[in-house]
Structure 1
Amino acid sequence: MTETTPADQPLVVAEKVTLSLNGAAGQVDILRGIDLTVAAGESLGIVGPSGSGKSTLLMILAGLERPSSGRVAVAGQEFATLDEDGLARLRRDHIGIVFQAFHLIPTMTALENVAVPLELAGRNDAFDAAAAALDLVGLATRQGHYPGQMSGGEQQRVALARAIVARPRLLLADEPTGNLDGATGRSIIELMFDLNTRLGTTLILVTHDDGLAARCHRTVRVEDGRIGA
């Protein structure tokens, strides 16, 4: 049974989250006690220098990386109680992710790429929902095209459609415009903020662009594995 988050509770909770990795030079502390809550429907910008831990934090919030210690919960589900299959189901039901790289399957059309997560979930309406998601990002006429036949901006729109096709409560974006030119990147960002407004999707955006982050309801800065004051 899918858990839900009460209206007065945050959608995302991270408490005292740490991540340490052992390497040839010894232990490396990447995150050093992160505390963060994000309300349903909020947009949050995460900024900070390269290597500060902001992308790692996003991966932990997505359930793609396990913290060394601390508590993480999304949509009322405690990550510590979930195995890898449980985390995969959580992402399927509640979390959409957009990366800097598009991660599209080159042998599949735009429609097929977007339908994949719904097909894996056993949805009978996978292709109808995928077509609607592509329409939402302005690619209704490109459903039958393969990634190699599309521009970078179009491929990122397909990736965004795939991320939101299941209408997730949480959309995580890690430098989503990093591989795009300025005008194309701005159009992708406009789409993401529009989805945040129209669908009430909670948006957490990792970016080097302080101006872009300032468009969010709130901004936090990660430095040396900690959230600054």
Structure 2
Amino acid sequence: MTDSPPATARQETALRLDEVALSLDGNAGPVDILHAVTLEVPVGQTLGLVGPSGSGKSSLLMLMGGLERASAGQITALGHDLTALDEDALARFRRDNMGVVFQSFHLIPTLTALENVATPLELAGVADAGTRARAELEAVGLAHRGGHYPGQLSGGEQQRVALARAAAPRPKILLADEPTGNLDAASGAAIMDLLFGLRDRHGSTLVMVTHAEDLAARCDRTVRLRDGRIEA
């Protein structure tokens, strides 16, 4: 399969979900997580996904990033049908087009902050990976911590490194799953300022899962989920 499958959606649409459903196997049988979700996110929009715990917000975000397979329906990103790609092609698409920020950071503990940020650039074959990684660390205020390992950084600092790592490839789509969930209020506010700043700097489409209504209010648009469905 090629790296660039045929376009199947208008390029001005960053993400489109058509009748997407997700079911996972549980101890008592299949569990329905999402039900016939239809959603379109224009290029450049900031979208907040909100709703109670268990409503399917994070699962929806994982589907958008090709990190989970839909049980039914179609997902297109930047004109490419993600549901038609195999795992290798999905990984290449994410590498070239998406940045993902998780609540729990997911930094590689044996690599320094600078090495964590440089890793996706090196995997993509970027010639100036080290230079760009340093610039992204500087953008999040951690140029002086590049030689430190994750275990030597505070939670807020680790999330800053995770932001720099996600932004370094200059992704067209930025996905954030509760990026302030493990942080205190002050650190969380700083991370949100940085996240929106990185979005503005790179012109990315931003989709963010959050429980915080004040954070969602900063987005251009909010979509509320309940019981795996988008509320009217």
TM range (shorter): over 0.9
After the TM superposition, which residues 73-92 of structure 1 pair with which residues of structure 2 at under 5 Å, given as runs?
Answer: 73-92=76-95
CA distance in 1, matches of 2:61, 2:180: 16
| In the alignment, structure 1 residue 99 sits paired with structure 2 residue 123 | no
User: Which one is further off, 216-225 or 138-147?
Assistant: 138-147
1:112 is matched with which residue?
Answer: 115
Instruction: Check conservation: 2:11, 2:78, Cα contact below 8 A.
Output: no
Distance 1:110 1:5, change over 3 A: farther
CA distance in 2, matches of 1:119, 1:196: 22
Give CA deviations for 1:39-89 in whole Å, capped at 9, x if unaligned: 111100000000010100000001000000001011111112211000001
Distance 1:7 1:195, change over 3 A: farther
Alpha-carbon distance, 1:2 to partner: 4.3
CA distance in 2, matches of 1:197, 1:119: 24
Among 128, 153, 156, which residue is 1:150 paired with? Answer: 153
- TM-score by length of structure 2 reads 0.94
Instruction: Check conservation: 1:5, 1:11, Cα contact below 8 A.
Output: no
CA distance in 1, matches of 2:8, 2:186: 37
CA distance in 2, matches of 1:159, 1:141: 16
Stretches of structure 2 that go unaligned for 5 or more consecutive residues are: none
Give CA deviations for 1:123-166 in whole Å, capped at 9, x if unaligned: 22111111111111111111111112111111100000000100
Alpha-carbon distance, 1:198 to partner: 2.7
User: Which one is further off, 88-97 or 76-85?
Assistant: 76-85
2:64 is matched with which residue?
Answer: 61
CA distance in 2, matches of 1:64, 1:6: 20
Identity across the alignment (%): 60
CA distance in 1, matches of 2:8, 2:187: 35
1:199 is matched with which residue?
Answer: 202
CA distance in 2, matches of 1:67, 1:155: 31
CA distance in 1, matches of 2:87, 2:74: 16
CA distance in 1, matches of 2:10, 2:27: 46
Among 151, 166, 191, which residue is 1:188 paired with? Answer: 191
RMSD (Å), alpha carbons: 1.6
Distance 1:7 1:191, change over 3 A: farther
Paired AA for residue 43 in structure 1? T
